[in-house]
Every structure is written in C-alpha cells, then in structure tokens.
Amino acid sequence: MKLKKMLTVLFTSVLLLTFSSPVGAVTGIGDTKETAITLFPGTAFNLFLSDSNDEDWFKWTNTTGDYKFIGGYFSPSNKAAEYRLGIHIVYSPSRSSFILYANNYGPGNAQFIDNILIPPGATVYFKVDSINYAMMQYDFEFEVYNYNL
C-alpha cells in the first residue's frame, strides 16, 4: 500500500514538473510593449527568451523634468543564438520614433544603444528579440545620465 502511494506521488510530481514554465520566462510579463518591465536607472536583468517568437520589452519614462541621456546594454551569455536590442521612443501620444536596432556584430557579441537624448515626459522602450533563436541567457543593463552641455 505504501509503495502504491509513493509511486502515485512520484508520478504526480514528475507530471507537474514536466508541464511547468521555466523560471525567468513567465509568459505575459514583458512580452509586449503594453506589459513592458519598468526600468529604474542602474538596473540590470538576467533573462532569456522562451521561444523564437518571444520578445522582452522594458520601459522608462522621463519624469525628472530635465533632458536626460540614456543607455541600454545587452550582453549574451554565449554564441548559441543571435538576439538583438532595439529602442522605440514615444515623445507624445501622437509622436514616436521607429524601432531602431543596435549594430549587430554577430552571435555572442554585446550590443548597446547609448547617448540618446530623452526629453521630459517621453517614454523609452527597449526590446530584445531573436534573429536566430536558441535558449540562451542574456544580461540587460539600463543607465540614465545627466544632460550637461
């Protein structure tokens, strides 16, 4: 009887683990511009894309009242996949940029978008997606700099 209960518990545990989502690839959080992860200056993330259609979105709104320079820095953990870093700036409800992508130096190389001047009230969106997908972790860092000319 005890053996039967143990086998049932073991079988149930295996099924639960088999169909659970991996940590860090929670569906719905940061997968669209509308659900973008809020950034704070100096923050860093270690994430991964869950499949070839997955995208990770991040956002920061300039609420400082001053012009600020921003930087987004992407660093892959290996050369297994080719991901890319993009930026989209929304200046007002009726005015925004196109999505611009960082220079791509091939799989395994860092990408950055830096020294972009953001006016007060504008929202910056960063996007990470894949060109050639494979499961791989990446680091994303965000910085804000003062505008002193």
Percent of the chain at pLDDT > 90 equals 70
φ/ψ region of 24 (left if φ > 0, alpha if ψ in -120 to 50, else beta) reads: left
As given in the structure block, the two tokens for residue 18 are: 């088999």
What confidence score (pLDDT) does residue 127 get? 98
What confidence score (pLDDT) does residue 80 get? 87
Separation of alpha carbons 25 and 129, rounded Å: 13
Percent of the chain at pLDDT > 70 equals 81
Residue 16 has pLDDT above 60, yes or no: no
Q: Residues 49, 135, 101, 62: is their CA dihedral positive or negative?
A: positive
- Is residue 13 very low, low, confident or very high in pLDDT (cuts 50, 70, 90)? very low
From 113, 125, 135, 104, select the one nearest 32 (Cα to Cα).
125
What confidence score (pLDDT) does residue 1 get? 53
Instruction: Please compute the mean of the pLDDT values over residues 121-131 and round it to a whole number.
Output: 97
3-class DSSP assignment, residue 113: strand
Element (H, E) at 84: strand 82-92
Instruction: Please compute the mean of the pLDDT values over residues 54-80 and round it to a whole number.
Output: 96
Q: Return the residue matching tokens 């660093």.
A: 75
Residue 17 has pLDDT above 70, yes or no: no
What confidence score (pLDDT) does residue 4 get? 52
Could you report the per-residue pLDDT of 34-51, keeping only the tens digit for each? 999 999 999 999 999 999
What confidence score (pLDDT) does residue 10 get? 47
Domains belonging to the chain, first-starting first, are: 26-146 (2.60.120.380)
